[in-house]
Amino acid sequence: MSKVQPSKKFNESLPSRAQVVIVGGGVIGCSIAYHLTKLGWQDVVLVERKQLTSGTTWHAAGLVVTPSGDELSVEMSTYTRELMKTLEAETGQSTGFKAIGYLQLACTQEWLEERRRMAVAARRLGINYQEISPAEVKKMWPLAETSDILAGFYTPEDGRANPVDFTMALAKGARMGGAKIFEEIEVVGINKENGRVTGVVTDKGEIEAEIVVNSAGLWGRQLGNLAGVNIPLQAAEHYYLLTEPIEGVHADVPIIEDFGRYSYFREEVGGLLVGFFEPVAAPWGVDGIPKDFAFGEINPDWDRMMPYVEIAMERIPVLKDAGIHKFFCGPESFTPDGGPLMGETPELKNFYVAAGLNFLGILQGGGVGKIMAQWIVDGYCPVDSLHIDIARCFPFQGTQKYLTDRTVETLGLQYQLIYPNFANETARDVRKTAIHEQLAQAGAFFTEGMGWEIPDWYAPAGVEAKVEKYTWGRQNWFKYLAAEHKACREDVILMDVTSMSKFLVQGRDAEKVLNNICANNVAVPVGKVVYTQWLNERGGMVADLTVTRLAEDKYFIVSAGDFYTHDLMWLKKHIPADAHAMVTDVTSGYTLLNIQGPKSRDLLSKLTSADISNETFPYMSARDIDVNYACVQCFRVTYEGELGYELYVPTEFSAHVYESVVEAGQNLGLRHAGFQALNSLRIEKAYLEYGHDMDNMDTPLEAGLSFAVKFDKPGGFIGRDALLRHKESGPLKYRMVQFLLEDPEPLLYGNEVIYRDGVIVGYLQTGAYGFTLGGAMGMGFVEHEDGATKEFINGGSYEIDITGVRFPARASLRPMYDPKGLKIRV
């Protein structure tokens, strides 16, 4: 937290070209430079507007702790922690890391259950995450009030570091590896040509570059604007209080996190540093970050923060009598979903970003730099990219109103208990489908995703659509969900799934281009729907979608709403410049109504003159049909495991088609159903959800999707050779398996640990209740170094660990519901 002096020694003459220019000399920029040199790239130039660390890094509290639960976060944090230990020997510059331990407090039953769930996941990931008693907490922290504590969760290996020293060690290491670092150089423009970055314009001259990296922290959005690129991050105030020395506080007391009091505590020069994650935060610099802000502070808003200071003091009562040395407020950047923004920007080739660290920049900085360097060198992400890739963002998320409104919530969420069906409360009602009001009338409870208001479940007539209490158990809507699920299995349901992404690819070369991108063969007759994955060069899945041939030269692509930006970018990126194939985004052009269930054909027959019999309109085919007065595209597909149809309705016909379907369904037991039902139905049928069950690190082979890979199709496809090598390299080390708990009571949400014959073999990616099969179900990869063969998987007995209690489970490589797929082909 000390300000650094200008390091003139860094400043040599600015080169006119470099392979990579990194903009921003905070912890992230320096870490990327360091890691690029470790991969052998020496022609690396880092430019910093003022002095290294002068943005956010200099005033960080230096917590180096391991967030539990999420695999990638744990990987980035543990890597950073270990790097902090070795950098001094390598560079001669200390990082100030000290393993003083990290203690989280659970003071309510809800937090206790949440932490115990996390503990199971954390231990699986190798974190030494120990549950300790209130008496042990008291022993570690005699000054803490412990009467309300139910348990502590302690990680002895975690600790603190000096953020400035760590950054300087990274910068020194980078320079030792050949990188050049320049201070007092501001980037004022980004040069580009034909959709590709070509260099930067600085206040001291231009630098031509193959690759430019935006690690400008709070300024990341402004720098993105210079390049015409959307970097949706927003600065917000973050506070800590520093006290005078306090008797009994010593340098080795562990860091405490007290979620219920929105605060964290650690020693600082014999006194305490008390930091805050207040539930309602204050965005800062909404009109742009001041140009000259360096080693800057924000005037604290005492009135707003005082209530939080007071409740924090109750945890360490001596604080009430301690002298306050400083109430510090500094800005940090936050993103709409709380994840960092990393990777190549969708709008501009070779323009990378690593910004929006959401308070985790120091403790994950090493890992972020390592991943970014590998990403830049290889051209694809070396880890599960779903929660870090900038390509998950949408253009509307870069609007000032959206960012300001959402940021009020994101900082506070760091210390809030997030239940599985949590939905953001800020920046709502952004995207509504054309029949939103009708669905609300029908009882929809809306959740939020990608800005869309998405029906989650429906309350029956006369009942308010409201979550009474978030819990890990059965919530008030569980019975409504059960009814929706049953209606799909026995009668018919109607879902509005308009939030799916929809693209047209048209032109003479459409088939050729798509066949190169898709692992399945799309050279099919007109009217055929093809389920396929898109792979990267390594054979990892980057998308999971359907491609439907509407005409010789026209395809319709449907993928999950979450991957809109990514999939559109991937498509455009892989269409050669000289190919005759045009991509059109038609997401907003269609309302997507999904009619599923054994009575769906009966329902549709009442509305159409088209022959929709199984013989003329079989499973996985598409037709233009009439629905009363409307002409719609109808696909006979299912994600629920039943006979069903998707109606792509031109938006202005939405209300008419919706009302027609509702009326026709009256005597057929039609129910509205939401996304919770979609999830429970698809898990019973073991249909996978990209981004939840599988990601870019998995191939179709592990996921059990080999049936959708056509190795022998003419011309091959992206990732084919790598996937073939993988296939021929011996038995798979892990495979997707479906699980059903034998006890109908417990619920599963994902992240629970899988035991086979008493040994941990994996964890659940997702979970939901299988109402037809009568128990909680989950999808998870089972790992076995010597081969996750059919014999291995079928030959064991399984248990699933929920909060430390193991429940017997059935495991299956084939869907437990309708394994032969008979219901979908009737």
Ligand X SMILES: Cc1cc2nc3c(=O)[nH]c(=O)nc-3n(C[C@H](O)[C@H](O)[C@H](O)COP(=O)(O)OP(=O)(O)OC[C@H]3O[C@@H](n4cnc5c(N)ncnc54)[C@H](O)[C@@H]3O)c2cc1C
x/- letters, 239..278, toward ligand X (CB under 6 A): -x--------------------------------------
Q: Using CA atoms of 154, 156, 157, 161 in order, give the dihedral in degrees to the nearest 10.
A: 90
Nearer to ligand X, 25 or 177 (CB): 25
Among 224, 330, 704, 762, binds ligand X (CB under 6 A): 330
Among 73, 91, 215, 679, binds ligand X (CB under 6 A): 215
Stretch that binds ligand X, among 59-67, 377-385, 402-410, 695-703 (CB under 6 A): 59-67
Cβ atoms of 670 and 603 within 8 Å: the answer is: yes
Question: What number of other Cβ atoms are within 10 A of residue 362's Cβ?
Answer: 27
| Shortest spacing between CB 235 and ligand X, in angstroms | 9
Nearer to ligand X, 69 or 217 (CB): 217
Distant-in-sequence, close-in-space partners of 89: CB < 8 Å, separation ≥ 6: none
Is 336 a binding residue for ligand X by CB under 6 A? The answer is no
Q: How far is CA 790 from CA 100, 705, 736, in A?
A: 46, 15, 11
Which strands sit side by side in the sheet containing 590-596, from one edge to the other?
A: 621-627, 630-636, 644-650, 590-596, 492-496, 670-672
The angle formed by the CA atoms of residues 535, 537 and 540, to the nearest 5 degrees, is 45
Strand partners, 330: 238
Q: What number of CA atoms fall less than 13 Å from residue 284's CA on the CB side? A: 24
Stretch that binds ligand X, among 56-64, 87-95, 512-520, 550-558 (CB under 6 A): 56-64
Stretch that binds ligand X, among 218-226, 277-285, 516-524, 767-775 (CB under 6 A): 218-226
Stretch that binds ligand X, among 34-42, 329-337, 462-470, 704-712 (CB under 6 A): 329-337
| Shortest spacing between CB 29 and ligand X, in angstroms | 6
Cβ atoms of 367 and 342 within 8 Å: the answer is: no
Stretch that binds ligand X, among 61-69, 433-441, 519-527, 818-826 (CB under 6 A): 61-69
Is 453 a binding residue for ligand X by CB under 6 A? The answer is no
Distant-in-sequence, close-in-space partners of 74: CB < 8 Å, separation ≥ 6: 66, 67, 68, 122, 125, 126, 127
Among 18, 23, 376, 481, binds ligand X (CB under 6 A): 23
Burial class (CB in 10 A: 0-12, 13-18, 19+), 201: middle
Among 61, 487, 592, 625, binds ligand X (CB under 6 A): 61
Stretch that binds ligand X, among 352-360, 419-427, 725-733, 810-818 (CB under 6 A): 352-360
DSSP-derived 3-state class of residue 688: coil
x/- letters, 273..312, toward ligand X (CB under 6 A): ----------------------------------------
Cβ atoms of 411 and 373 within 8 Å: the answer is: no
Nearer to ligand X, 79 or 445 (CB): 79
Nearer to ligand X, 356 or 775 (CB): 356
Is 55 a binding residue for ligand X by CB under 6 A? The answer is yes
| Shortest spacing between CB 53 and ligand X, in angstroms | 6
Among 57, 600, 633, 676, binds ligand X (CB under 6 A): 57
Cβ atoms of 603 and 511 within 8 Å: the answer is: no
Nearer to ligand X, 206 or 585 (CB): 206
Q: Which residues of 437-468 are buried (b: 16+ CB within 10 A; e: fewer)?
A: ebbeebbbbbbbbbbbbbbbbbbeeeeebebe
Stretch that binds ligand X, among 53-61, 92-100, 666-674, 697-705 (CB under 6 A): 53-61
| Shortest spacing between CB 214 and ligand X, in angstroms | 9
Stretch that binds ligand X, among 145-153, 215-223, 415-423, 492-500 (CB under 6 A): 215-223
Is 369 a binding residue for ligand X by CB under 6 A? The answer is no
Is 520 a binding residue for ligand X by CB under 6 A? The answer is no
| Shortest spacing between CB 63 and ligand X, in angstroms | 3
CA-nearest of 670, 693, 601, 682 to 641 is 682
Strand partners, 748: none
How far, in Å, CA of 101 to CA of 158, rounded?
5
Is 372 a binding residue for ligand X by CB under 6 A? The answer is no
Please spell the DSSP secondary structure of 394-417, one letter per residue: -GGGGSHHHHHHHHHHHHHHTTS-
Among 121, 181, 362, 723, binds ligand X (CB under 6 A): 362
How far, in Å, CA of 535 to CA of 718, rounded?
6
DSSP-derived 3-state class of residue 111: helix
CA-nearest of 585, 394, 432, 613 to 501 is 585
Nearer to ligand X, 217 or 561 (CB): 217
Burial class (CB in 10 A: 0-12, 13-18, 19+), 435: buried
Is 27 a binding residue for ligand X by CB under 6 A? The answer is yes
Nearer to ligand X, 46 or 530 (CB): 46
Is 216 a binding residue for ligand X by CB under 6 A? The answer is yes
Nearer to ligand X, 325 or 623 (CB): 325
Greatest alpha-carbon pair distance for the chain in Å reads: 85
| Shortest spacing between CB 143 and ligand X, in angstroms | 21
Phi, psi (degrees; rounded to nearest 5) at 263: -145, 155
Which strands sit side by side in the sheet containing 541-551, from one edge to the other?
A: 529-535, 541-551, 554-559, 501-506, 582-585
| Shortest spacing between CB 103 and ligand X, in angstroms | 15
How far, in Å, CA of 66 to CA of 286, rounded?
31
Among 118, 187, 542, 670, binds ligand X (CB under 6 A): 187
Is 357 a binding residue for ligand X by CB under 6 A? The answer is yes
Nearer to ligand X, 57 or 633 (CB): 57
Is 21 a binding residue for ligand X by CB under 6 A? The answer is no
Among 10, 26, 414, 509, binds ligand X (CB under 6 A): 26
Is 186 a binding residue for ligand X by CB under 6 A? The answer is yes
Please, what sign has the CA dihedral across residues 573, 574, 580, 581? negative
| Shortest spacing between CB 41 and ligand X, in angstroms | 19
Among 74, 168, 355, 824, binds ligand X (CB under 6 A): 355
| Shortest spacing between CB 378 and ligand X, in angstroms | 22
Among 60, 149, 510, 530, binds ligand X (CB under 6 A): 60
Among 18, 33, 37, 54, binds ligand X (CB under 6 A): 54
Distant-in-sequence, close-in-space partners of 329: CB < 8 Å, separation ≥ 6: 237, 238, 239, 297, 298, 299, 300, 301
CA-nearest of 39, 37, 46 to 18 is 46
Q: SS3 helix, strand, coil % of the chain, rounded to 5?
A: 30, 30, 40
Stretch that binds ligand X, among 11-19, 41-49, 122-130, 673-681 (CB under 6 A): 41-49
Is 50 a binding residue for ligand X by CB under 6 A? The answer is yes
Stretch that binds ligand X, among 44-52, 108-116, 280-288, 499-507 (CB under 6 A): 44-52
Identity of the residue numbered 380:
Y
Stretch that binds ligand X, among 49-57, 599-607, 628-636, 704-712 (CB under 6 A): 49-57
How far, in Å, CA of 308 to CA of 260, rounded?
10
Q: How many residues bind ligand X (CB under 6 A)?
A: 40
Burial class (CB in 10 A: 0-12, 13-18, 19+), 634: buried
Among 35, 59, 502, 601, binds ligand X (CB under 6 A): 59
Among 363, 434, 603, 678, binds ligand X (CB under 6 A): 363
Identity of the residue numbered 766:
T
| Shortest spacing between CB 203 and ligand X, in angstroms | 9
Q: Which residues lie near ligand X (CB under 6 A)?
A: 23-29, 47-50, 54-57, 59-63, 186-187, 215-219, 223, 238, 240, 330-332, 355, 357, 359-363
